Structures are given as structure tokens and as C-alpha cells.
């Protein structure tokens, strides 16, 4: 840690691992319902998989080309090899902590009479059950591979679990053989509930253990009598290289990249530490893995991400509160009528996502609507948004969809959406070279009395009705002519990007990336610095997913040294050193990990008592500020502005699920004001719900406590 302190910023990847430790803390928290603790272990595991697929893979590439001075290399300030070594040490520590937490959870499960059993601990009825299950469901879905007889080692899929099997005879009369079985969890799921002796007991077995039990049947042909099997998985480089071949289209490049991703270079090999040593050496040789190639010995169970879907067999149930309708939209038959009259801010997941879909549905059938334009980054698998757009085309509207084909891990799904939309007559835009489209915006054009009016929305989150139930985001439904004029300018740029960025630079209300946001943020921070030096109130409250841009961090350091009061709510990556004796007012930096994934970006600048409040799709990262189209939107309605400030104040008061973001990455829980417990996600729900019922506000301390709520099942 002493070496860490020599740097101006915390290394991004080390900070990310610290964030994942906060996820692990939720799994360790005994106050969290047991099933949700298991899910947090699954979220932690899924996060780690993606970290290795993307970040570790990138660092390994950088290490291979460490002689070259790349911008990324300079940004890291230390060698990729050094960071890879630090990652290895931190991951091993976290894996040990993970195993301890899982062991404790297993004990708690048994107290609730929930047993995760192996193939060696089955009664006679259960043995017969899994034999039947294997014959009826599993056998036809597995293809054992005798890997020693295959000249070219079979391709091992990322995210799959494999059983490495050793076949032998006790008397030594036959040479040992190695085999490989892919566990078909994609098809059959991972968990099978077994018959139990009593009604109040639940016995669950993993699919790989059903296969283990039936190894003798699988390999009966060979005449062996002893079988050993150990689980392992391979994590591969998931980066898609987009080459500069002008003879191929972006779609062809992405399709090629997806094929290459499936065969990406292994960056991690996770295996049962009890694995037969000869089998391990054999697998390493055939996979061309060296000891340094992130070999991760572990326990018997791998691919813990599946545990996000652990069967709901526990007595203590979560009580997630259902989203409710925004009060301005309760008594109206048409969302559009309200939006044309005044701004409406939806706060997900507290407010229902349905008004967004309803507004698009209304536009699809409104004879006066001529045009709908919308950006889509990550969509739900059965997207109601897409259905409304298809319906709009069938009703004669001109529909344009900016579909970002390079949304990581959604590339394949977005290619399929593109084909469907184009088949229906939708105009699909597929992006700009070297720039991702990450803005969440919608423009609807309507003709009334020969006059065109614009309305739509600007959001911090994806247009995904599924994640809107678990992601904390803000969506402004508006017909403000200044905002919508800028939304129109952004779409003009997306459609005519070859003509340059003049459309983006012409924005007057919205602050777009990559042309303007960095400059405007520096100006607003500089204004607060000037106010502080003039002994006037100077404040900033900033909420985002990640803060890693070094230029803006330097500016925050300058502001803190000048006496600006800085409050930060950062869910994930946080590369700033928040503690420094030269800061006149200590920086308050927290992270909240709880029921919902805090996904919103909100920027509040004091501006000498006339607060400037913005919602944004952009984090303060180089990729967002300089290499993406993003939209940062001012909140002009005073009621909504006050509401957003109130929500962030509640989060800053959290002393249940907030952690301090300190220089040492200790993730200590924020325990100030112990006499009044403030769990911000519950308090925000009650604050907004109370306003919906009564049109009044309450202080957090006046809000009655409600029971614990079920945790999100998605990736953090």
C-alpha cells in the first residue's frame, strides 16, 4: 500500500477489485437474507469472470507490447506486469475470503434445513431419482471426449464448466485414460431438487454431481472400475478487435470478432485444487498454459455465477417493494399529455418503467406523430421497447434506431435486433468508427396545427424494462424545446457523422461527449474554486459509477485544496485519493452496495446558491468523456431539481449500506450518527412513495422502517 500512495491516483484495476470486495461484504453480512447472500456470491463471481475476460486480458496484451508507449500504458503509471502481480495477490485473498463466507453460509443453510448434497451423500430414493434424471434428461446432452486420442485439443468454451475425468483400474491392469465432459448447465440449469424424507427439508444437487454419480454408466464401454473427476473452467480474452480493413463493414468486423472471441486466448484457468496432478499437467500442456498464466486453484464448485439463480427454498423471504406509478401519471389516460405540459422525472426502480413504454406506444398509434428516434444500448431479451417501435413503423411512422452493436457482451443480441428491425422497415444506425454511442435519448416529432413539436426523454440508464427493476437510474420525460432541440442535434450527428461534429458543438442545453463535457466540467469546477477563494459557499455533490479520469481528479484535488466542499457517491471504480492533509474541507466519498445497483450519474454544483443540477449517461472516465457519444442534461424544473438533491442527501446520510472510500481501500462501513439508522434505498422508496400518496415530504428520520428487501439478481 505504501507504493500505492506514491501515485497521484489509485490504479483503476486495483480500485475495481476493491469494489468487488464490497460486493463480497454483502455476502458476508448476516443481516442479509440467506438466499440473497448466496446471490451476492454469484454476483461477485460473475463480476470476476468479466474482469478477467476484459481487464486482465487487456493488461496481458499490454504486457506483451510493453516496449511501446501507448496512452493506456502511460495512464497506468506503472507496468502492466506490476499490476498483474498485484491483481493476482488480491484475487487470491478474495478467493480465500469467498471460501470462508461460503462455508459459513453452508452452515446457515443447514440450520434452515437446506442441504446442498454431493453424489456421495444420497439415500436410496435419491440415488434412484438421479439415475432416472440422468437417463431422461442428461445423457442425451453430454458428449464425453477421450482427449488423449484427439490430435487437436477440443475448444473449451468460456463460461462453461468441465469435468476432467481420470479412468483407471484398481489392479493397475489397464493404462489410465483422460476424458472431458462439458456440464450442460446452459440447457438443463445447474440445480436439481431431490426427494426429501420430510416436507420441511430441501436437498439440492448440482448437475455436475449427477454426472459424477453416473460416470460408471457413461464409460462402461471401456472396462474401467475407478473414476476420478474434478471441475474446472477456462476464462478467455473477450476483447473484440475491430481491424481497419476498409473492404469489410462494421457488421462483418463484429461478426468476425465474435467468432474470434469464442476462441480467445485463455487468461485464467480455475480448477479444483484436489485435481489429479497428472491430469492438471496434461491439461496445462494441451491448453498451452504456463504456471504464470493465472492458474487459480479453488474448491470443488466453479462458475458460482449460476448461484444468482439458487432455488428459492428458504423460509425467510425477501420483501422487495413493487415499483409504483409516478404521481403525475396516476390519473391520466395518456402519458404524452402530461409530458407536453410539464417535465416528469422517473426514478427507477422506485417508479415504474411502464410510462416510458406507454409514451412510445401512444406515439406509435398517434396519427399526428410523424417520427420517432431513439438510442438503444442494452435491451431486454423480450424487449417491449422494440415491440412499440415495430408497431410505430406499421402505423406509418418514420422510426430511426441508433443500435450500438459494440455494447460489450450484447453484440450478438444487438445484431439480431438489427436484423429484426430492418425487416420491419426501421432505419437502423449502427455506430461511428472508434466511438460508442452510450447516450440514452429519445425524440418524438408530432404535428399539431401545421406546427411541429418535439418531446421525448433523456436518461441515465438503458432502455431495458428488466434491469429498470433493479438498477437505480433517472429518466427525464420532457418537451422542453431547448433540451429537445439538442436531442435533435445529437441525432443529426449520429445520422451524418461524416460531416463532422458541428451538430454536437451547437448544443446549448445538453452537454454532449466527446465534444463538450470535459471542458464544461472543468469550467464548473473552476467556478467553485473561485467561489471558495472568495470565501463564498462552494460545493459539489457528484454521483457516478466510476471516477478514474486523471485530469478531472487533478481538478478535484485542486478544488479540495481551495476549500470546496466535495461529496462523492461512487459505486465502482474510484481512483482518487480522498484523504489529504492539504484539503481544507475533507472530501466525503462513499460507495453504496445494497438491494439495487446504483447506476445513475448526477452532478450538482453549488454555483453560489443557485445549484446547477445535471443527470448524465457519462462516468468520469477517459472512455466516456473522449470516446463515446454521451448526453448530460440540465434539470430545469425546480421541483425535480429539489427532489434529486433530496435523494442524494439521503444517500449521503446512509449509515447502513454505505462504505467510506478511503486511501487504503479498506471499505469500512460508514457508521456515523448511530442513533438514526438510514438505509438509503429504503428511505428513498419511502420518500418518493410518501410524496406520491400525500404530495408531502418527510425527513429520513421520520420515515418508518420497512422489512428487508430482496437483493438484485443481475451483475454488479
- Please name the residue that has the C-alpha cell 485444487: 273
Dist. CA 587–CA 644, nearest whole Å:
21
278 a catalytic residue:
no
- % residues pLDDT > 70 (the chain): 89
Q: How distant is the alpha carbon of residue 40 from its chain centre?
A: 13
Q: Give the C-alpha separation, 579 to 538, whole Å.
A: 19
- Split at pLDDT 50, 70, 90, the class of 159 is confident
Half-sphere exposure for 354 (CA within 13 Å, toward CB): 10
d(CA 703, CA 650): 11
Using DSSP, state whether 588 is helix, strand or coil: strand
Residue 151 has pLDDT above 70, yes or no: yes
Instruction: Tell me if 271 sits within 8 A of 230, measured CB to CB.
Output: yes
Radius of gyration of the chain (CA): 27
Those residues with Cβ within 8 angstroms of residue 96's Cβ, 6 or more apart along the chain or in another chain:
none
Say which DSSP state 146 is in: -
Domains 114-310 and 327-508 share a fold: no
d(CA 352, CA 339): 16
- Specify the CATH number of the domain 327-508: 3.30.870.10
Query: Could you tell me the CA-to-CA distances from 312 to 114, 202, 522, 709 in Å, in that order?
Result: 10, 10, 49, 15
> Per-residue pLDDT tens for 572-594?
999 999 999 999 999 999 999 99
Contact in structure between 305 and 45 (CB atoms under 8 Å): yes
Per-residue pLDDT band at 241 (split at 50, 70, 90)? low
Contacts 24+ apart (CB under 8 A), 190-193: 190/303, 190/306, 190/307, 190/309, 191/306, 191/309, 191/310, 191/311, 192/130, 192/133, 193/311, 193/313
Q: What is the pLDDT of residues 493-515, one digit of tens each?
A: 999 999 999 999 999 999 999 99
- Decide if 574 contacts 10 (C-beta within 8 A): yes
Please state, in angstroms and rounded to a whole number, the distance separating the CA atoms of residues 527 and 612.
12
Q: 323 in helix, strand or coil? A: coil
**CATH node for 1-112:** 1.20.58.310
198 Cβ partners below 8 Å, 6+ apart?
none
pLDDT score recorded for residue 409: 64
For the segment 221-236, the average pLDDT, to the nearest whole number, is: 92
For residue 436, list its beta bridge partners.
628
* Per-residue pLDDT, 255: 53
Report whether pLDDT(549) > 90.
Answer: yes
d(CA 206, CA 117): 8
CA-CA distances (angstroms) from residue 298 to 92, 109, 215, 269, 533?
9, 21, 23, 10, 55
What pLDDT is attached to residue 538?
97
H or E element at residue 182: strand 177-182
Return the DSSP state at 443: E
Does the pLDDT at position 679 exceed 90? yes
Q: Regarding beta strands 565-570 and 226-236, do their DSSP bridges make them parallel or antiparallel, or are they unpaired?
A: unpaired
Mean pLDDT of 128-151: 94
DSSP 547: B
DSSP 8-state symbol, 320: P
Q: Catalogue the E-assigned strands of 460-577.
A: 471-478, 511-513, 539-544, 565-570
Instruction: Please say if the pLDDT value at position 712 is more than 60.
Output: no
Tell me the pLDDT band of 5, cut-offs 50, 70 and 90.
very low
Q: Regarding beta strands 658-660 and 588-592, do their DSSP bridges make them parallel or antiparallel, or are they unpaired?
A: antiparallel
Cα angle vertex 345, ends 628, 488, to 5°? 45
Q: Helix, strand, or coil here: 357?
A: helix
The three cell numbers of residue 460 are 441515465
pLDDT of 622-667, one tens digit each?
999 999 999 999 999 999 999 999 999 999 999 999 999 999 999 9
Per-residue confidence (pLDDT) for residue 713, from 0 to 100: 36
Contact between 458 and 633 under an 8 Å Cβ cutoff? The reply is: yes
Residue 2 pLDDT = 43
**Phi, psi (deg, nearest 5) at residue 294:** 50, 50
CA–chain centroid gap for 536, Å, is 39
Higher pLDDT, 337 or 242: 337
List strands edge to edge, sheet with 114-117.
114-117, 202-206, 191-194
Measuring CA to CA, which residue among 156, 279, 301, 133 is closest to residue 211? Answer: 133
The confidence band for 704, taking pLDDT boundaries of 50, 70 and 90, is very low
Predicted confidence band of residue 435 (pLDDT cuts 50, 70, 90): very high
Query: Whole-angstrom Cα distance, residue 358 to residue 677?
Result: 37
Assign a CATH topology to domain 512-702: Endonuclease; Chain A (3.30.870)
Report d(CA 56, CA 49) in Å as an integer.
10
Q: Which among 210, 180, 208, 181 has a CA at the least distance from the CA of 194?
A: 210
pTM (two decimals): 0.90
CA torsion through residues 169, 172, 177, 180, sign: positive
Cα–Cα distance, 339 to 444 (Å, whole number) = 12
DSSP label at residue 138: I
How far apart, in whole angstroms, are the C-alpha atoms of residue 226 and residue 366? 71
Q: What percent of the chain is predicted at pLDDT more than 90?
A: 72
Placement of cell 481544507 in the chain: 584
Cβ proximity of 573 and 546 under 8 Å: yes
Residue 237 grid coordinates? 480474452
Is pLDDT above 80 for 140? yes
Separation of alpha carbons 169 and 225, rounded Å: 5
Q: How far apart are CA 509 and CA 636, in angstroms?
A: 10
Pairing mode, if any, of strands 612-616 and 601-605?
A: antiparallel
If phi > 0 it is left, if psi is from -120 to 50 it is alpha, else beta; for residue 500 that is: left
**Does residue 709 carry a pLDDT above 50?**
no
CA dist., res. 22 & res. 462, Å (int): 24
How high is the mean pLDDT of the chain? 89
Average pLDDT rounded to a whole number, residues 361-376: 96
Give dist(CA 379, CA 177) in Å, integer.
Answer: 46
pLDDT at residue 714 in the model: 42
Nearest to 23 by CA among 304, 293, 271: 304
CATH fold of 114-310, please? Answer: polyphosphate kinase like (3.30.1840)
pLDDT band for 6, please (50, 70, 90 cuts).
Answer: low
Q: Reduced to 3 states, what is the DSSP secondary structure of residue 616?
A: strand
Mean pLDDT over 339-357 rounds to 97
What is the layout of strands, in order, in the sheet containing 266-272? 177-182, 162-168, 226-236, 266-272, 295-298
**288-297, 455-464, 504-513, 528-537: which has the minimum mean pLDDT?**
288-297
Beta strand 628-634 with 436-437 is parallel
443 beta partners: 373, 456
Set 202, 306, 351, 438: catalytic member: 438
Looking at residue 262, its pLDDT comes to 55
pLDDT the model gives residue 292: 63
pLDDT attached to residue 693: 82
* Alpha-carbon span 89 to 96, nearest angstrom: 11
DSSP H helices in 395-459: 411-424
Residue 123, classified by CB atoms within 10 Å of its CB into exposed (0-12), middle (13-18) or buried (19+), is middle
Distance CA 311, CA 190 (A): 10
What does the domain layout of the chain look like in residue ranges?
1-112, 114-310, 327-508, 512-702
- pLDDT of 707 reads 35
Q: Do strands 440-448 and 451-459 pair parallel, antiparallel, or not at all (unpaired)?
A: antiparallel
Helix/strand/coil for 248: coil
First to last CA, the chain: 26
Amino acid at each position: 500500500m505504501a507504493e500505492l500512495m506514491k501515485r497521484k491516483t489509485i490504479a483503476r484495476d486495483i480500485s475495481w477489485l476493491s469494489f468487488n470486495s464490497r460486493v463480497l461484504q454483502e455476502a458476508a453480512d448476516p443481516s442479509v437474507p440467506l438466499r440473497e447472500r448466496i446471490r451476492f456470491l454469484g454476483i461477485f463471481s460473475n463480476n470476476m469472470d468479466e474482469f478477467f475476460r476484459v481487464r486482465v486480458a487487456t493488461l496481458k496484451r499490454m504486457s506483451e507490447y510493453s516496449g511501446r508507449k501507448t496512452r493506456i500504458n502511460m495512464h497506468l503509471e506503472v507496468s502492466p506486469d506490476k499490476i498483474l502481480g498485484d491483481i493476482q495477490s488480491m484475487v487470491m485473498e478474495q478467493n480465500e475470503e469467498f471460501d470462508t463466507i461460503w462455508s459459513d453460509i453452508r452452515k446457515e443453510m443447514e440450520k434452515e434445513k437446506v442441504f446442498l448434497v454431493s453424489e456421495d451423500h444420497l439415500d436410496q430414493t435419491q440415488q434412484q431419482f438421479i439415475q432416472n434424471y440422468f437417463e431422461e434428461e442428461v445423457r442425451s446432452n453430454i458428449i464425453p471426449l477421450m482427449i488423449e486420442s484427439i490430435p487437436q485439443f477440443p475448444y473449451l468454451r468460456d463460461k462453461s464448466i468441465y469435468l476432467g475425468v481420470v479412468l483407471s483400474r484398481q489392479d493397475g491392469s489397464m493404462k489410465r485414460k483422460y476424458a472431458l465432459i462439458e456440464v450442460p448447465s446452459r440447457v438443463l440449469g445447474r440445480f436439481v431438487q431431490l426427494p426429501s424424507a420430510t416436507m420441511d427439508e430441501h436437498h439440492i444437487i448440482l448437475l455436475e454431481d449427477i454426472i459424477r454419480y453416473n460416470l460408471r454408466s457413461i464409460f462402461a464401454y471401456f472396462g474401467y472400475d475407478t473414476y476420478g473427476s474434478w471441475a474446472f473452467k477456462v476464462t478467455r480474452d473477450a476483447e473484440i478487435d475491430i481491424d481497419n480493413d476498409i473492404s469489410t463493414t462494421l457488421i462483418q468486423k463484429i461478426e468476425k470478432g465474435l467468432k474470434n472471441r469464442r476462441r480467445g486466448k485463455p487468461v485464467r484457468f480455475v480448477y479444483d485444487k484436489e485435481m489429479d496432478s497428472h491430469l492438471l499437467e496434461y491439461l496445462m500442456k494441451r491448453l498451452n498454459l504456463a504456471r504464470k498464466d493465472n492458474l487459480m486453484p479453488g474448491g470443488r464448485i466453479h462458475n458460482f455465477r449460476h448461484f444468482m439463480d439458487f432455488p428459492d427454498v428458504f423460509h425467510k423471504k425477501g420483501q422487495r417493494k413493487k415499483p409504483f406509478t409516478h404521481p403525475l401519471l396516476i390519473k391520466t389516460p395518456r402519458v404524452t399529455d402530461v409530458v407536453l405540459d410539464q417535465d416528469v422525472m422517473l426514478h427507477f426502480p422506485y417508479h415504474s418503467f411502464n410510462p416510458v413504454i406507454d409514451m412510445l406506444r401512444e406515439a406509435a398509434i398517434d396519427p399526428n406523430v410523424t417520427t420517432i428516434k431513439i438510442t438503444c444500448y442494452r435491451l431486454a431479451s423480450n424487449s417491449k421497447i422494440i415491440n412499440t417501435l415495430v408497431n410505430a413503423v406499421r402505423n406509418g411512422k418514420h422510426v430511426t434506431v441508433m443500435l450500438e452493436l459494440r455494447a460489450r457482451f450484447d453484440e450478438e443480441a444487438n445484431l439480431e435486433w438489427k436484423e429484426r428491425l430492418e425487416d420491419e422497415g426501421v432505419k437502423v444506425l449502427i455506430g461511428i468508427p472508434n466511438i460508442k454511442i452510450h447516450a440514452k435519448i429519445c425524440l418524438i416529432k408530432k404535428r399539431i396545427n401545421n406546427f411541429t413539436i418535439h418531446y421525448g426523454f433523456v436518461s441515465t440508464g438503458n432502455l431495458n424494462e428488466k434491469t429498470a427493476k433493479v438498477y437505480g437510474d433517472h429518466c427525464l420525460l420532457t418537451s422542453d424545446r431547448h433540451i429537445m432541440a439538442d436531442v435533435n442535434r445529437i441525432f443529426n450527428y449520429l445520422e451524418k457523422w461524416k460531416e463532422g461534429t458541428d451538430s454536437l458543438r451547437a448544443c446549448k442545453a445538453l452537454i454532449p461527449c466527446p465534444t463538450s463535457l470535459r471542458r464544461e466540467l472543468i469550467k464548473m469546477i473552476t467556478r467553485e474554486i473561485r467561489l471558495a477563494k472568495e470565501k463564498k459557499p462552494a460545493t459539489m455533490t457528484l454521483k457516478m459509477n466510476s471516477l478514474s479520469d486523471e485530469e478531472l481528479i487533478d481538478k478535484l484535488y485542486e478544488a479540495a485544496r481551495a476549500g470546496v466542499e466535495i461529496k462523492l457517491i461512487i459505486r465502482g471504480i474510484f481512483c482518487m485519493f480522498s484523504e489529504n492533509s492539504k484539503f481544507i474541507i475533507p472530501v466525503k466519498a462513499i460507495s453504496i452496495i445494497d438491494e439495487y445497483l446504483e447506476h445513475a450519474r448526477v452532478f450538482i454544483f453549488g454555483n453560489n446558491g443557485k445549484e446547477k443540477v445535471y443527470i448524465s449517461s457519462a462516468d468520469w472516465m477517459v472512455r466516456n468523456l473522449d470516446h463515446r457519444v454521451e448526453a448530460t442534461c440540465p434539470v430545469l424544473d425546480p421541483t425535480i431539481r429539489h427532489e434529486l438533491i433530496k435523494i442524494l442527501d439521503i444517500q449521503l446520510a446512509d449509515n447502513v449500506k454505505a462504505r467510506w472510500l478511503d486511501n487504503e481501500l479498506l471499505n469500512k462501513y460508514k457508521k456515523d450518527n448511530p442513533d438514526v439508522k438510514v438505509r438509503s434505498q429504503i428511505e428513498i422508496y419511502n420518500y418518493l412513495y410518501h410524496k406520491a400518496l400525500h404530495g408531502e415530504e418527510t425527513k429520513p428520520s421520520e420515515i418508518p422502517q420497512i422489512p428487508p428487501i430482496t437483493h438484485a439478481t443481475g451483475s454488479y
